[in-house]
């Protein structure tokens, strides 16, 4: 069964890998990116099964127009993949206002705009899948990535809510959480001038690991792209799809620690229940 996919951020990384694999197996792809010429080689090979459009997901009006045009040209679109992203590495004091604004505008607001633009079309056709590419850092945290985490934790909260709202319309949403992977994301991270005060802190240690190449990237990008395709093919629709050894172990450890801490505050939580309410 061939499908039609709409994918953002297809110039490199998971977006490019997904586009290559889907076209190779005969699917149609509406690929969006800042520089459409980056996919000229795939267009030459696959012809009109690849539709490209220039898109900056931080431009709300452009998002709406590009999504509407894709549905108008292609008819039904089966899968929306929100993949476009921007990464910034800096301690909370080091990041600039511009960097903070860009990571929120791209990863959080940009993803929200794409979903909002697609939903009327998906509702009208009565089916569809949304894959929201997040990260292990949408459920756990690492020093130096506070603003990246803010955007990813934000989009995960949005998607959890949206998934409940759109399920009655036959639309499923899955948050995909890849771990650290050699996709070029690390080398493309935006950074800020380091403050010497943070050199001997966890943030400084991670900065050094990124600089000298010792930061561990345990996962295979091709396998992650294929796992996303396999999920859609299977028909399964979990709310989250953790991908990677670091994602699985780090997120699990963080969830267990949070639950332990949460349970430790049970008495305090219930102590503020009003006298007129029977505490569970």
Q: Could you read off the pLDDT of 49-71 as tens digits, one per residue?
A: 999 999 999 999 999 999 999 99
* H or E segment to which residue 111 belongs: helix 111-125
Is the whole model's pTM more than 0.75, yes or no? yes
Mean pLDDT of 34-42: 97
Measured between alpha carbons, how far is 60 from 112 in angstroms, rounded to an integer? 10
Per-residue confidence band for 184, with pLDDT thresholds at 50, 70 and 90? confident
Candidates 134, 147, 151, 198; catalytic one: 134
Which residues are registered as beta bridge partners of 128? 171
Please say if 147 is a catalytic residue. no
What pLDDT, on the 0 to 100 scale, is given for residue 42?
98
Catalytic residue among 86, 147, 148, 198: 148
The tokens for 206 are: 């991670």
- Eight-class DSSP state of 108: I
Catalytic residue among 86, 91, 152, 198: 152
Per the document, the length of the chain is 280
- Over residues 175-192, the mean pLDDT reads 89
- The answer to whether residue 276 scores a pLDDT higher than 80 is yes
Percent of the chain at pLDDT > 90 equals 93
In the residue annotation, 152 being an active-site residue is answered as yes
- Strands 79-82 and 4-8 turn out to be parallel
**Residue 217, phi then psi, degrees to nearest 5:** -125, 85
The pLDDT tens digits for 129-158 are: 999 999 999 999 999 999 999 999 999 999
pLDDT score, position 280: 65
> pLDDT by residue (tens digit) across 189-241?
999 999 999 999 999 999 999 989 888 899 999 999 999 999 999 999 999 99
Neighbour count for residue 71 (Cβ, 10 Å) = 20
Cβ atoms of 152 and 135 within 8 Å: the answer is: yes
Q: What is the DSSP letter of 130?
A: E
The yes-or-no verdict on residue 279 having pLDDT over 80 is no
- The SS3 call for residue 146 is helix
Question: Which range, of 71-85, 174-188, 234-248, averages the lowest pLDDT?
Answer: 174-188
What is the arithmetic mean of pLDDT over 7-36?
97
pLDDT in tens, 242-274: 999 999 999 999 999 999 999 999 999 999 999
**Does the annotation mark 148 as catalytic?**
yes
pLDDT number for residue 158:
98
CB 143 within 8 A of CB 201: yes
Nearest partner of 151 among 185, 98, 100, 192, judged by Cα: 100
- Render pLDDT for 89-131 as a digit per residue (tens, 0 to 9): 999 999 999 999 999 999 999 999 999 999 999 999 999 999 9
Q: CA end-to-end span of the chain, whole Å?
A: 50
Q: What are residue 215's phi and psi, to 5 degrees?
A: -65, 125
């Amino acid at each position: 069964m061939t499908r039609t996919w709409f994918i953002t951020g297809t110039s490199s990384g998971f977006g490019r890998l997904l586009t290559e694999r889907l076209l190779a197996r005969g699917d149609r792809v509406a690929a969006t990116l800042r520089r459409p010429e980056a996919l000229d080689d795939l267009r030459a090979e696959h012809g009109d099964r690849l539709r490209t459009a220039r898109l900056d997901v931080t431009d709300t009006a452009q998002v709406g127009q590009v999504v509407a045009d894709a549905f108008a040209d292609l008819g039904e679109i089966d899968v929306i993949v929100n993949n476009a992203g921007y990464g910034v590495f800096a301690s909370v004091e080091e990041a600039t206002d511009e960097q903070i604004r860009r990571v929120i505008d791209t990863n959080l607001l940009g993803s929200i705009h794409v979903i909002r633009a697609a939903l009327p079309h998906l509702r009208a056709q009565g089916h569809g899948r949304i894959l929201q590419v997040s990260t292990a850092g949408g459920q756990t945290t690492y020093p130096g990535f506070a603003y990246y985490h803010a955007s990813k934790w934000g989009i995960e909260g949005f998607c959890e809510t949206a998934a409940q709202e759109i399920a009655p319309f036959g639309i499923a949403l899955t948050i995909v959480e890849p771990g650290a992977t050699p996709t070029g994301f690390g080398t493309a991270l935006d950074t800020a001038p380091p403050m010497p005060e943070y050199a001997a802190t966890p943030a400084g240690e991670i900065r050094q690991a990124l600089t000298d190449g010792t930061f561990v990237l345990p996962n295979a990008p091709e396998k992650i792209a294929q796992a996303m395709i396999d999920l859609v093919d299977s028909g399964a629709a979990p709310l989250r799809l953790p991908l990677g050894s670091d994602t699985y172990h780090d997120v699990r450890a963080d969830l267990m620690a949070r639950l332990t801490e949460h349970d430790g505050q049970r008495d305090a939580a219930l102590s503020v229940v009003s006298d007129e309410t029977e505490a569970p």
